[in-house]
Amino acid sequence: MCSILGIFGLQPGDDLADLRRQALELSRRQRHRGPDWSGVHADEGAILVHERLAIVDPAGGAQPLVSADGNLVLAVNGEIYNHRELRATAPDGWEFRTASDCEVINALHARGGDPGDWLRRLNGIFAFALWDRAARRWLVARDPVGVVPLYWGRDGSGRMCVASEMKALVGICHDVAQFPPGHYYDSDGDRLVRYWERPWREHGATASVQVTPGELREAFEAAVHRQLMSDVPYGVLLSGGLDSSLVAACAARFARRRIEEDDRAEAWWPRLHSFAIGLEGSPDLAAAQVAADALGTVHHGFTYTLQEGLDALPEVIRHIESYDVTTVRASIPMYLLARRIRAMGVKMVLSGEGSDEIFGGYLYFHKAPDARQFHDELVRKLDALHQYDCLRANKSMMAWGVEARVPFLDLEFLEVAMRMDASAKMVRPRPPLPGDRGRVEGCSRPIEKAILREAFDGYLPDSILWRQKEQFSDGVGYGWIDGLKAHAESQVGGREFAFAASRFPVNPPMTKEAYLYRHIFERHFPGESCARTVPGGKSIACSSPAAIAWDAAFEAAADPSGRAVAGVHVAS
């Protein structure tokens, strides 16, 4: 994964040399995403700059990728997992110039036709800008879920600018906004088009559709297998929760063979490394060690102190470009972990984001009254994921040049998991387990994501497979959130907080902790347009009308921690 920056719509009177210098300076602001190499293309119609993090074809594959005839210029941030199959569909006589997985985008565009038709064929995570010199046309697109970030706006002269991170456009574009996931912009007709729309978004299309545990397991194993595509050392994030542990368990099954050669050769780095972080004595560190011991990974559990986390807070907000409370809380330990991972020479990790949005893993889903409302809330959360967990995982890791891949959001797996009748995903009592003997609650306690747990029976110790959902910002240590709140209380005065709504009219903060994050955010990203790129609301759960309808207590809850879901959370 990398960073891209594009300036389009140049006019004959523009000073190309000056604009090129400006583009390079703007791209430098996001060079942490691509520390391996910088590439630039500038002509009379467009400027494209690329900062590269080399994962596939590190010796070649430098960007921007230019077609053999020089007409197509492409800058991509992402990975195309099915690129080898798509290469076979290139136009007759097409010449691939690199082994890059992303070069297939140029070939698909060269075939012509509606861009949406070939965009829907890509299974990957991506944001790209493509300049067609012969047609004087540019195309910008983002992956369906929004795993990869992308921002856009117009500069003072009306030129269109796009960048992987908002910081590259601050001061240049006064209308900066997130580019919507699952869309493409085509300068031919000045059109923003939604290209990705699935039948399963409507509950009626999923009613009575059965997916067996075996089908679910095989689809997820295939997703992990695809996403192990790498020519550099990689690892897995392992918090000891269900999702990251399943990713690690599946990766461990494939780690010894080289995916790029159809498993015919031994992997270049056959030992799977796993990584966890937490405060001393945190629930996640203990659970991660149990999972790692069972899977046989080379495990690295790191600790950090409250003060180290507080020291990193301003820099983390600058990197993640958000003031959302849950996102900031979870991003800090992830940011600190990324630095440790990169120091060990690892450039790519698999992570467990997306599972809770697909299977209803958040604890407030215990309150869902029926399958239709359960399903509708899943779709809402998937639509918002690019503003929360995808943003956190991508930007926290890429702050140190580590790419995070998310197998649960693999498009082929998503198709299998989301077409399932939501009644099979709803919370239900877990089965009796050997460890229940003598325990008061026995097997009566309801558990979220039971269908996913059942699909992987035997893959993990029961204590991990049936562990209750623990939000990352809780699991790193319950003292973490309490420490952040205390710090905010000491930094934000009562009189200052009383004027929060007038100081911040866009999404006014409702707690002192939220006020502190917003204050730091404004220093780096001033103006209402920047503020509007962050979703409003008190938390993911509390801002949902559906969740409030399920339980009126959510409306009064200002704290988004999973521990705040009364009557559901059981402390580890």
Query: Is 0.85 topped by the overall pTM?
Result: yes
Which residue among the candidates 2, 161, 173, 542 is catalytic per the annotation?
Answer: 2
Q: Which residues of 97-121 are buried (b: 16+ CB within 10 A; e: fewer)?
A: eebbbbbbbbbbbeeeeebbebbbe
Give the integer Cα–Cα distance in Å for 257 and 295. 17
- Assess whether pLDDT exceeds 50 at residue 541: no
Active site residue 161: no
% of the chain at pLDDT higher than 70: 92
Q: What pLDDT was estimated at residue 443?
A: 52
DSSP label at 372? H
Give the integer Cα–Cα distance in Å for 86 and 539. 40
Q: What pLDDT was estimated at residue 569?
A: 54
DSSP label at 266? B
Could you tell me the domains of the chain?
3-197 (3.60.20.10), 203-473 (3.40.50.620)
List residues forming the annotated binding site: 101, 237, 277, 351-352
Stretch 488-502: mean pLDDT: 97
Stretch 165-178: mean pLDDT: 97
Stretch 402-410: mean pLDDT: 98
**378, 358 Cβ separation under 8 angstroms:** yes
- Among candidate residues 272, 462, 269, 295, the one with its CA nearest the CA of residue 350: 272
Question: Could you read off the pLDDT of 349-400 as tens digits, one per residue?
Answer: 999 999 999 999 998 999 999 999 999 999 999 999 999 999 999 999 999 9
Question: Could you read off the pLDDT of 55-92 as tens digits, one per residue?
Answer: 888 887 789 999 999 999 999 999 999 999 999 999 99
Cβ neighbours for 569, distance < 8 A, ≥ 6 positions apart: 363, 468, 562, 563
Phi, psi of 42 (to 5 degrees): -140, 130
% of the chain at pLDDT higher than 90: 83
Q: What pLDDT was estimated at residue 442?
A: 45
Stretch 101-109: mean pLDDT: 96
Give the integer Cα–Cα distance in Å for 87 and 101. 9
**Tokens found for residue 296:** 């046989």
Stretch 18-37: mean pLDDT: 97
- Assess whether pLDDT exceeds 60 at residue 561: no
- Stronger pLDDT, 557 or 432, i.e. the higher one: 432
Q: What pLDDT was estimated at residue 403?
A: 97
Give the integer Cα–Cα distance in Å for 552 and 568. 15
Q: What pLDDT was estimated at residue 264?
A: 87
Tell me how far apart the terminal alpha carbons of the chain are, to the nearest angstrom: 35
Question: Could you read off the pLDDT of 429-454 as tens digits, one per residue?
Answer: 877 766 654 444 445 578 999 999 99
Q: What pLDDT was estimated at residue 145?
A: 98
**348, 230 Cβ separation under 8 angstroms:** yes
296: number of Cβ within 10 Å: 12
- Among candidate residues 144, 161, 164, 173, the one with its CA nearest the CA of residue 385: 144
Q: What pLDDT was estimated at residue 565?
A: 58
Q: Read out DSSP for 73-120?
A: EEEEEEEETTHHHHHTTSPTT----S--GGGHHHHHHHT-S-HHHHHT
Q: What pLDDT was estimated at residue 260?
A: 81
Average pLDDT, the chain: 92
**4, 48 Cβ separation under 8 angstroms:** yes
Question: Could you read off the pLDDT of 295-337 as tens digits, one per residue?
Answer: 999 999 999 999 999 999 999 999 999 999 999 999 999 999 9
Q: What pLDDT was estimated at residue 557?
A: 59
Question: Could you read off the pLDDT of 203-254 as tens digits, one per residue?
Answer: 999 999 999 999 999 999 999 999 999 999 999 999 999 999 999 999 999 9
Give the integer Cα–Cα distance in Å for 204 and 412. 21
Stretch 407-418: mean pLDDT: 98
When pLDDT is cut at 50, 70 and 90, the band that residue 524 belongs to is very high
- Assess whether pLDDT exceeds 70 at residue 464: yes
By CB atoms closer than 10 A (0-12, 13-18, 19+), residue 542 is buried
Q: 3-class SS at 42?
A: strand
Stretch 515-532: mean pLDDT: 97
Q: What pLDDT was estimated at residue 295?
A: 97
- Angle at the Cα of 130 from the Cα atoms of 124 and 133, rounded to 5 degrees: 155
